[in-house]
Every structure is written in C-alpha cells, then in structure tokens.
Structure 1
C-alpha cells in the first residue's frame, strides 16, 4: 500500500512538473512572439538588418514548439525531431521528456485537450508572421520601401500580433485550469494517503507488540548460542549477562563472570573514564581492539564493539560484542619483524636503518650532539661466493654479523644494507672516536677465523665513516656520504677506515650525480623516456588483462638504460615528481589512441614516487588528468611504495582517497621488506598488496621467506585486498603462491617486460606466448 501511494504521489508530482513546464514554455512562446513582432516592426520602419536578425531569432522559439507538436501528431511520432523542436523552443532540457509524455498520453483529456486545440489555432498566424518577415526583407532588399507599402505591412503585423496574443492568452488560461485540476488531485491524494497510512499504522502497532516478544526470544537464543563473545553491562560497568563463548575466551565460568565488572575484565589503560571517574560509554563503545584479562592472568586482544540500550522506564544498559583477534596481532608482529629485519642475518634491514637514522638526525637537530654512521663492505666477498659457493657466503655473512653485534656498545646498532654491505651506528661518538673504535674492529677482524667446514676463513673489510650532526642534509645524504667514504677506503687499498671528507669526495660525487640528472632531463625534453609493460596474471582468470607500466631511458646513442642506472639520482635529488608527471602524460596519450585496447584492458598499474605523494601540486595534476580522462580512471591502479606511504602517511592517505574517489585503485608496492605495520596498513584504504620480490624469489627453498609470504597473504585477505607476488621466476614458485592463496603473479615466469606499444596490440593480449625482453629478472 505504501509503495502504491508513493508511486501515485510520484506520478502526481510529475504531472505538476509537466503542467509547470507547459506554463513556462507558453511564457517563452508568448515572450518570443512579442519580441519577434517588435523587432519586425522596427525592421519594417527602419530597415536595419540587426532588427531582422532579432526577429528571426525570436521566431525560432514558437516555430520550434510548432515543429515539436507536429512531430508528435504524426501517426508514427518522431521523438528525436520533437526533442529538437522543444529545445529550439527554449524549454529546459530536463522538461523535454515531461512535455513529450504529457502531450502524447494526456493531450486528449479535459482542459489540456482544449489547450492543445487553442495552440493549433496559432499555427496559421504564426506562419503568416514568419512569411511577413520574409516579405519585409524582400521589399527592403529591392530598395526604399514606399510609405503606403510600409503602412500596409505594419497594419498587417499589428493584426497578426493582436490575434496571436489573444490566442496565447486563451492557451495560457486553459493551461492554468489544467494546473488547478492537478493541484486539487494532489490534495485529494494526500488526504487519502494520510488516511491509509494511519490505518496501516494502527494495524502495525498491533503487529509490532507480537513481533517484539518473538524477536526477544530469538535474541536470547542467539545471544547464548553465538560463537563470538557477548556481554551485557549495567551503566556502572557490572556484568549483567554473558554468553558461553565469552566465558570460553577468557577462561572463566559464566557464573564467575556475572560477579565481575568492566574494570576487572580489561587491562590497565583500556578503560575510558569521564571527569567523575565513571565509564564514558560514548567513547568506550567506539569500535576498537582492547586487551582483556584472562582467568590465568594472561592478556587477550579482542575486537570490541557495542551500543547503549535505552528503554523507557529502565536504567540504561550496554550490549557489547568481543571477538578474539590475538592470532591476528601475533601474525602482525611476525610480519613487522620480517619487514624490518634481514632474513639471513637477523639484523635490521635498510628501511629500518633509514628510520633509525631519521630519528637520530631529528634528535641531534633538537638536542645537539654528534653520532657516527659507518658503512662497512666485506673485501673480496665475491671470491668466497664464487669459490666456495653461496652457502659458504651466507654463513660468512651470518658470522660477520654476529661479530659486529658483539663488537659494539650498548646504544649502538648494526644493520645489513644488502649483499655484503653493513651499517654500524655509534651513538654519541665523533668521527675521531669512531675511527679509533673501527680501527680496533679491523685489527681484531684480521686475527679472527670464521669456521667453514673443516677449515676457516680470514676476512677483511673496508669502512667509511660520516658524522651525524645537525648540518647533515638528510638520511639519503648520510647514506651517500658513508658509501662514498667506504668506496674511498676500497680505492686506497681495502682493509682500512676512511672518514668522509666533503671538500674532496662530496664535490666529485655531486658532479657525477649532476651529470646523471642532466641526462635524465635531456631525455625527458627529447622524448627519449620509453614505456614498457609487464603482465600480471590473475590467478583463476588468465583472460584478465592486467599489467604494470615500467620506464626505460634511451641514451642519445640508442642504448636502452634500465631504471637502476638513473632512478637513484632522480630520487636523491628530488626529480621524482617531474619524471612521474612525464610518465603519466606518456601513458594517457598512448591509451587515448588505443580505444579497443582500453575497452579490453582490465587494470594498468603505474608507479608513483614518495616525492610526488608529498607534493600537493602533483595530486592536483593527477586529479586534473583523471577528470579530463574519466574513461581511463577506472582502468588505473597507482602503485605507492611502502616507504613512501609510511614516511608521509597523511599525504599518502590524501592521495589514495583522492584517486579512489575518481575511480582508480591503489596498490602498496614492495610490501614486506620495509616498515610494514598492521596498524598503519589499516589506515590506508588501498585495494592491492604487492609482496616484495625478496621474499617471493627464494620461497621454494627458504622457509622464512615462505612464512613471510604466507603472513602477508593472510593479512591482505583479512583486509579484503588483492595480493600480488612480484619476482615470480619459476613455475615451482608460481604453484606455491597459488596454494597460499595469492591473487596475482608477476615476474619472468609469467612474462618478460615488453614495449607498451607491443602490449597494446590485440594479438598480444592474454593467451599469447611470452616474448623476450631486457632487464634484470624480477626487477621491473
């Protein structure tokens, strides 16, 4: 009944809107006819061409309405012609359909029929007025018009104008009578609606009482049989009711829980109190994860949500639901550890090193002091790998890591940068003091023997040192300076310590970086940056066309350069945003000329640097690009590296929300090897996780890597994200990833990168054979 009344009300409202549209249209008709008459009067009198143009322009309105009506009066109504006519008649585009429908289906009813009849009576005078316009033009074109002829034309014009105005007034009165009938009908329908709804309300009030009793019995059954914990508290926090699931989660009996309060169940710091020391339920009941006390004294993480229940005549009560998420937190801690530590040596990895350096740099800027950063590189490590095998090399790295950890003071730390490179941080040590400590380490290392099989290995290392002071530019500068000093130590003969000397080494390093930047700038200006693409296979849906866009640089002599040859300089010296803008421009221009490919395309991933995310002007550029290419927006997925997201979390969230609002998707790239955190991951509304290839590449032989992939996949599934694995370089790894539930695969085992022009050819869509290309395996 309610749906029917709503439908009738909607119909009446449409009728009201239609009657209003007709009245407005008649107003336009009458006003334009008068304007045409006035302009034609001036033209007959003075012969000015602009008056003739104004008359004809004004006549397009009534003539357009006339043409629209005749199109609808045909046996086979020409709706397109009718729409064009009504638009020419200056009717609002939103009213065109109402005018057409009301004329076709209501034109034979009552006053509306009379209005249409009166409208038809204006056709002949209107056409005569149009003909009079042509006659006046013909007379003026032949020369000066005789006064007698001019007077005759003016008399004829005035007669037509009076006739049309009289008929227009009659037409308007008929429309107003029709509108009055619609208003009366609306009032009647409204009264009937009130009467019927009142009747329904009386019937429902009797039904509600019965339903409430039935629902309460069902609720009690669900409460006590639910598999998640449920509790009911009084306003003071005392437990009034609890189900068996909650008792099992906390290790209590139901009877024991009924004697406890909220204060007894949660850990210290989890209770939210107001100024009076009472529980502030409005804040306490916000969805969150709280620590609960178990009966054995241990703590349990529970996902908590609840609501206040207010019943007339009764005290306010609280209903809460608790779900045990302790396993999720354990999993998150495991992922965090793997993300910040090197799987081979157990030391912190590069991203954790950079985070700690950032903290140290902030500390010396705020409080003064000095620290030393040491860059350590094993000498001739490649000979160990080549001569004794990678297993011996891995064992040497582990032993050397243990040696460094045992050689530092409390407050210092050691990390692995990658390969045979390590970072050592000496807290509160100036360069001279650090050099003494490091020389002692070098001497002791020369006397140490690292066991391998039945024999032992003697190793040496080259060390570069740079001071961490408030004058340091940033973390990238510190790492670069320490690396340069280490390189100088190797150049000087290895097995020694070299301190960073900016006056000599920094200038040379900056000169080389400037040359690299100049080459990138010229490549952008000369359009020598090329787009490549690597397909991403959707597990279970090989026909889904999905790929990542990669960038290459062609040198002036025609050689193709991989990103590793120019991206470090781009990122270090703040040119990332310029390159990202150029790549996006190239991509959009290419896809705009490939409509068939775009229609077939499922998703296209494109990388965005940390510098771009932190710059509001880049977000404005991207939003403008997406607004002007809305058809491409839903085909794009922006890849944001995990480091970029964490370093500027607020800007990253703003960027993600802005592009998602325009239909794009967002992927977190290189996830797992950086500062991965379950807490920050929930703050970023990303659609996709891309597991760092470091874990994927060796997961078939490394159980730690396989565990990391499994953990990341589980977190992605819990957050309803698509999980994609990079660096899939063998069918064995691909099969294991599918077993773990990964959604997408990317790497040389799936397909090598190829020029984007080739990817957009229909013959090379999913189902084609893989084509060879260049580049390091697994590293786009």
Structure 2
C-alpha cells in the first residue's frame, strides 16, 4: 500500500510537469502565431497605404493637369475635371481628420477612404493601422508628412473655387492667365515634393514591417523547435517510466492479465492468469484467445475474424482450464493502436468462479426441496407458467399430475418423522425413475408431489400413471417392520392454451386428486370441466367484452406508483399501472380483467391503448415532463412476440423523441426468456431510440442468470415474493442479496417491489438496492393527480398492504 502511494506521488508531479510544458509550448505557439498574424496584417496595411498614396498622387496630378488645360483653353469641363480629381486626395484628408477626432468617426473615415480610390477590402486595414500604429516609427513620420500636404490641397481647392468665379474672357488676358498658371505651378511643386517624401516614408515603413516579419518568423521557429525538442525528450522519458511501471503492474497484478494481437494470439500473460488457467506462463504465451475460451464465447464477424468491438464489452466469460474444466472470469479490456496502426488488446480477467458457485447454490436452494432434492412449489409454478406461454404460442397439450401419498400421516404417527422423511425420499426417487425423458417431478409440500408429462393428453397421461401405480404396489420402501404398503392418489389436468393460468391448473389438478381419494384412493382421476367451469368461461368472455368497450369509451385509467431512489428522494420515478372503470362506475384492478385479456390474445391491443394514453397525457404536461426522471410502462409477452407491435412502438418513439429518454419498458423475466429472440430485438430497438429496459419479476428460481448477457436490460426488478418474505425467510433474503450484487456487477440498477414495511426498506437500502417500490413508499394514485401536483420527496410511511 505504501509503495502504491509513493508511486502515485511520483506520477502526479511528473504528469503535472509534462502538462505545464505542453501548455507553455501551446501558449507560446499561439502567441507567436498571433504576433505573426498581426505583423502580416500590418504588412498588408503598409501595402494598402502605398497603393493609397499612388491614388492620392494621381488625383493631385490629374487636378493640376486639368487646371492647366482650363487656363489654356477656358473649357469649363476641364475645371469640373480638376474638381473631381482633387476629391481623391481630399477624401483621404477627410478620412484622416475623422480618425484624429477624440471620438473617431469610423463611418466618415470609411467614406473618405473610399472616395480616395482605395479598395473596399483595404479600408478596414487602413482604419485599424492608422488608429493603433500611426505613432510608431516610420508610420509616425509618414503621418507627419501627410499632414503637411493639407494646406496646399486646400489652397488648390480654393484656387478651383476662385477660377470658377473669374469670367472666362478675363482669362484670355495674358497677364491674368500667367498669374493663375504661376499659382497652379507653385502649388503643384509643393505637393509633388511632399508626395515624394510621403511615398518614401511609406516605403521605409513597409521595409521595416518586412524585416520585423522575418525576425519574428525566425524567432518563432527557433523557440517552437527548442520547446518541441525539450517536450519530446520529456515525453520519451515519461513513456519509458510508464512502460516500466506498466510492466511491473502487469506482471505483479493479482488478477489475470493478457496482451493479445489482432488475431487473438497471446503476446504476453502474467503469472496470475497462468495460475487461473493452470498453465505455465511460457505455454500460455504460445496459445490464442480461442484456445482459452469455452465454445460460443469468442465473438466472430462475418469473415471469421474476432469482432473486437463486441468482444471487448465488459462481462463474464467462460474460460477453459488446462484439464478442460470451466472457470468463470470477469472480463474487461481495451484496444490500443500503435503509431503504425497495429492493434493490441489488453484484457483483465478476474476469477469469479466462486461467485458463480455461490449463485448456483442459492439458485438450487431457492428452486429445490431440501429433503428430496426435487424442484419446489415456486419452481413448479414457474415451469408451468413457461409451459402455458409455450402452448399458447405453439399449440399442443401437456398434462399436470397432482400426487398425494395415501395414509402418509399414519407412517409419521406410527414410525416417526425420520421414517416419514425416508419414505418421502424413496418415493421421490421412484417418481424420477418412473417418468419419461423430458418430464419433470417436483414436491409441492408435505406428502404432495407434481409430475409434468410433456406432449401428453389426459388419456396418455392416465396410461403412464396407472402403470406407475401398479409398479408402486410392487416396490419396496424398507422403513420399519410393519410399515404399510405405499400407495398414492393422482389427479390429472390437461395444460392447453385454454387453461386460464397456473393457479387454475394447480387448483384443477388438486380437485382431481381429491376426487381420486374420495373414490377409494390408489387411483387416477382426470379433471373435466363441469357446468360451473363453463359458466366461468362465459363470464370471462363477458369480461373481455367489457374491456373492449372500456377501451373504446375511454374508460381505461392510468395510475402510477412511485419508485423511491435510495439517496435521492426528490428523483421522480414511477411505474404506470392500468385500471378499468366499468359502465356502472366500479373500478377494477388488473387482476380482475388481465387474465382474460392475456388468455384470449387481447394483451397487445391493451398495451397499444395504454401507450397511446400515456404519450398523450405526457405531451400536455410539459412542466411534469421536465421534472420526470423515469416512467416505467409494462409490455406483455404477446406484444413482445409480435413484430407489428415493435413497429408501432418505434413509430411512436420517432414521432415523440422528447419522451423517449423518460421511458422505461418493463417485461417480465418469464416473457423475455420464453421469447428470447423477439425480446432481444425489442430491447435493442427501444434502447437505440433512447429508452431504458427493465426485467420485471426477476429471480424466480434464479434460473435466468445465464440469459442476462443476451438481454441487455438497464434495470432488474426483484420478484416481490422474495422481498415480501425476506424478513422471515433466509433463502429469500440471500436471493435478494445475490440479485443486488449481480446487478452491481453488471452495472444494472436494482429495484425491489412489494416493499411493505419501513424495516424491509431499510434492509434493502443497506444491501445496496437502488430503487424501492411498494406500499411502504407510496400507494398507487391516478397518473393525472401525480402529474398535476407539486412533487414532493418520497418518504417511508411504514404502511403494510398488498403490492401495487
């Protein structure tokens, strides 16, 4: 630790010194370039002055010639020509006088220089240089000589005015004409002499500017060259030191590090990497990345080369040890190109196999019965949910079997619980051996078991189960002398697309099992819908019609439940919920109409309706939209699987781009995994348009950990069943903690649902969960009330109640 601090102290002054040199060099270069630009501008201005002086001289000479012609011929046009020609030097005179005022009149100066015949592009240079350089060196002398011409110019102007008043016949008299010719001649001689001096002064000024330009240019090149050489030497020294420190860090690091070329060949590897994969370092440096990764982990492009843009995304990869065993590594890397364009990749690999082992252990405990090793009720319900989704999308028939051991209580009472546990373990092994490949067995609790027979109708299931009962009568379970022969009662229900939901399936199978017991036990009974079931179907159809009418009549209402952001109570984040107001005014919760909506394929229509309502509402609430951090909206499995729904969402987002960054789409873990390809396409499309993505009900059985790399969500919402039970169930608490840590590792925000007490909220915050949702935070309320109210920070109210 001390050595690290020392290296840090050494590195900071070195970097600061290099930065100071760079800033100094850049500043000097900018300053010298600016000075050079200024001198160049002065040189251009001096050229403009020389050109202007030429116009001045020509104007004066033209005026003198025109006056001489007028005196010789008496033609009035010659006098007009003299007056026009004299306007050129007079224009320059007026421009100078305008600039010499205490408050320079730039407009008059510009007008005067233009009358003096100067190019429009040179006028600004003339004005600038006269204002700021007229008192410098040769420019000062040229200005002094220019001022001396003023008297003679004004004399010539007065002479023209005087001649304009003299009668032309008077000029025919030799004495009068000679008098005026002499005056013109005298003025001309004075002006030519002064113009020549003025011209020489301007030439000397231009020469001085050129010399200054050469000196400054040479000095600039010299200074910049010296600074560049000094900087290059320092950079070379720093690079050498950086290279030495990098190599020391590379080889002494406690995590694995690799240097790879563009083809993935290992160029260098440190000892930690060799230890992780159980190779000698020299052997490792003769291998390629593809040799070190398990199949499917190397990302290739269409040409079969490594796609480094995707391969370098941080994540967890499966590495292969020397003995072929699996090692999980947390992978991160960066690509560097040399000056010659050669690509090198530096990667860091941290061994996280222990984390995965812990996750698998937690996963197993969360989804399996500790006594028998079979899957538990939670996992049974999750698998049934997946089977229901599958038959609704693909068709087919499965069978769910509910098995209850006959007279099991007698075994417990007569031979003790240890004997009962032994019988349960033996029966579980018997069931596993009796079912077909692809079927599964689980324990529901106590002496109750579930068997799932895939692709089996009731009749097929009945034949399998009757054989199971016959063979069970011949099997032996040595528990204790005098123990009864084991038998069981079995209820069967078909799993079809018409099945309402998992609860209905479990209830139906349980009812059939009860009927088998009532009929004498040790038999199979198949569930058949009676009159009450048909009436229930009819009621569901009526509920579906009410939902359709409610959408058509705008009676679907949007509610919202706040999601508190730990550490930032003012952050506005909520989930949009839907309620239905019936024609009689009664308000219905989603549980009263959503099962029928999903069962009969109406979920996508409802999703589209809800999104339309939400967008229209947010569009008319600009103040709320500015304050809004994030708004979650749910999307059903049916919608995810339908390309037309994705097209609808994309069109909606394109037309409302300002809302996209405020939206987060929620899809349940089961829906996403069951429609993995479509879910990935949906997630990619909405994220590309600025939205965020949340996986809802995450963690049921923890079986979805492996899918996270394929589902790039931003938010994980922990299944509320874990949160609800975490204060009394250690497995639920461990599961919540594991999901929270997983979210942090994957840089995903973690939100807990069903937060019903302040104590649970505090425990979740201590675990690092970032978002809290439930009755302990805030009850659902109409979205309109939330958007129109002055927002206040959320606080824990400590009120228990069912999840929102």
- Common fold, TM-score beyond 0.5? yes
In the TM superposition, residue 307 of structure 1 has moved relative to its aligned partner by 8.5
Is the 8 Å Cα contact of residues 755 and 777 (structure 2) preserved in structure 1?
Answer: yes
For 1:602, what is the secondary structure of its paired residue?
A: strand
Superposed, which structure 2 residues align to 1:341-490 within 5 Å? 346-347=375-376, 348-355=379-386, 373-376=399-402, 403=427, 406-408=430-432, 409-410=434-435, 411=437, 412-415=439-442, 423-426=450-453, 431-432=458-459, 434-435=461-462, 438=465, 463-466=491-494
**Do the aligned partners of residues 652 and 501 (structure 1) sit closer, same or farther apart at CA in structure 2, a change above 3 Å counting?**
same
- Cα distance in 2 for partners of 1:272, 1:628 equals 38
**Do the aligned partners of residues 697 and 316 (structure 1) sit closer, same or farther apart at CA in structure 2, a change above 3 Å counting?**
closer
Is the 8 Å Cα contact of residues 417 and 423 (structure 1) preserved in structure 2?
Answer: yes
- Cα distance in 1 for partners of 2:265, 2:656 equals 58
| Alpha-carbon displacement from aligned partner over 1:418-456 (angstroms, at most 9, x marks no partner) | 9999642236866445325546878989xx99x9xxxx9
In the other structure, the counterpart of 1:213 is 240
In the TM superposition, residue 697 of structure 1 has moved relative to its aligned partner by 0.5
**Do the aligned partners of residues 332 and 237 (structure 1) sit closer, same or farther apart at CA in structure 2, a change above 3 Å counting?**
same
For 1:580, what is the secondary structure of its paired residue?
A: helix
- Cα distance in 2 for partners of 1:285, 1:532 equals 40
For 1:221, what is the secondary structure of its paired residue?
A: helix
Superposed, which structure 2 residues align to 1:226-625 within 5 Å? 226-231=253-258, 242-246=269-273, 249=276, 257-258=281-282, 262=286, 286-287=311-312, 289-293=317-321, 299-303=326-330, 321-334=348-361, 337=364, 346-347=375-376, 348-355=379-386, 373-376=399-402, 403=427, 406-408=430-432, 409-410=434-435, 411=437, 412-415=439-442, 423-426=450-453, 431-432=458-459, 434-435=461-462, 438=465, 463-466=491-494, 497-499=524-526, 510-625=537-652
**Do the aligned partners of residues 248 and 555 (structure 1) sit closer, same or farther apart at CA in structure 2, a change above 3 Å counting?**
same
- Cα distance in 1 for partners of 2:572, 2:310 equals 45
Give me the CA root mean square deviation. 5.6
In the TM superposition, residue 111 of structure 1 has moved relative to its aligned partner by 2.4
**Do the aligned partners of residues 404 and 211 (structure 1) sit closer, same or farther apart at CA in structure 2, a change above 3 Å counting?**
closer
In the other structure, the counterpart of 1:684 is 711
In the other structure, the counterpart of 1:627 is 654
In the other structure, the counterpart of 2:680 is 653
For 2:547, what is the secondary structure of its paired residue?
A: helix
- Cα distance in 2 for partners of 1:676, 1:330 equals 14
> In the comparison of the two structures, how many residue pairs are matched?
567
Superposed, which structure 2 residues align to 1:50-89 within 5 Å? none
For 1:300, what is the secondary structure of its paired residue?
A: strand
Aligned mate of 1:752, from 753, 766, 779: 779
Is the 8 Å Cα contact of residues 485 and 498 (structure 1) preserved in structure 2?
Answer: no
The answer for unaligned runs of 5 or more in structure 2 is 1-24, 38-109, 125-212, 299-303, 410-419
| Alpha-carbon displacement from aligned partner over 1:175-227 (angstroms, at most 9, x marks no partner) | xxxxxxxxxxxxx9xxx9xx979969974766665454333323222223323
For 1:227, what is the secondary structure of its paired residue?
A: coil
**Do the aligned partners of residues 778 and 214 (structure 1) sit closer, same or farther apart at CA in structure 2, a change above 3 Å counting?**
same
**Do the aligned partners of residues 404 and 431 (structure 1) sit closer, same or farther apart at CA in structure 2, a change above 3 Å counting?**
farther
**Do the aligned partners of residues 2 and 740 (structure 1) sit closer, same or farther apart at CA in structure 2, a change above 3 Å counting?**
same
- Cα distance in 2 for partners of 1:488, 1:558 equals 39
| Alpha-carbon displacement from aligned partner over 1:59-104 (angstroms, at most 9, x marks no partner) | xxxxxxxxxxxxxxxxxxxxxxxxxxxxxxxxxxxxxxxxxxxx9x
Which 10-residue stretch deviates more, 262-271 or 350-359?
Answer: 262-271
For 2:554, what is the secondary structure of its paired residue?
A: coil
For 1:739, what is the secondary structure of its paired residue?
A: helix
Aligned: 1:704 with 2:720: no
In the other structure, the counterpart of 2:7 is none
Aligned: 1:662 with 2:689: yes
For 1:434, what is the secondary structure of its paired residue?
A: helix
- Cα distance in 1 for partners of 2:248, 2:697 equals 48
- Cα distance in 2 for partners of 1:241, 1:711 equals 35
The answer for unaligned runs of 5 or more in structure 1 is 13-102, 116-187, 274-278, 366-370, 385-395
